[in-house]
Amino acid sequence: MLTAKGKPVLGLATEEDMGNYEEIMVNSGTMRRRNDPEKPAANNGCKWQNIRKPIWDKYEKKTKQKAKRKKKGQKGSGFLPSDPNALCERLELLMASKQAGNIGLRNEIVSICDELLRQKILSRDAYKNLMLALNK
């Protein structure tokens, strides 16, 4: 919702709304400049200062942490959504793709299973069964 001057009305969005908006911004790449993807698509506007900049700062912090881990020789993983429904849908798709003969999906499947186990969506037994199915 915007005011008459085109500024966003702050405080109306719920945490869920902001989480969804953050996910859209990160996945769509609209936070970055088209001609220089290392820089944010920023301005001095109210929306940037109050809504997008905090998302950019959080995203950049995570990106720098991943780069630091990779420099130390640790494996970094790609972006995984925190939404368990999205993780389950992706896991189903990857398992079906693996069953169809695609290889090279193991790391992503294991990462998703690890995250679902961490979120207590998967039990230890279900996790073990998935790992056994993955190794067939």
Domain ranges of the chain: 15-71, 84-134
Cα–Cα dist 97/91, whole Å = 10
Task: Express each pLDDT in 64-123 by its tens digit.
Answer: 777 776 665 545 556 778 888 989 999 999 988 888 888 888 889 999 999 999 999 999
pTM beyond 0.85: the answer is no
The whole-number pLDDT of residue 125 equals: 94
CB 60 within 8 A of CB 39: no
The two three-digit tokens of residue 63, written as one number:
């990106």
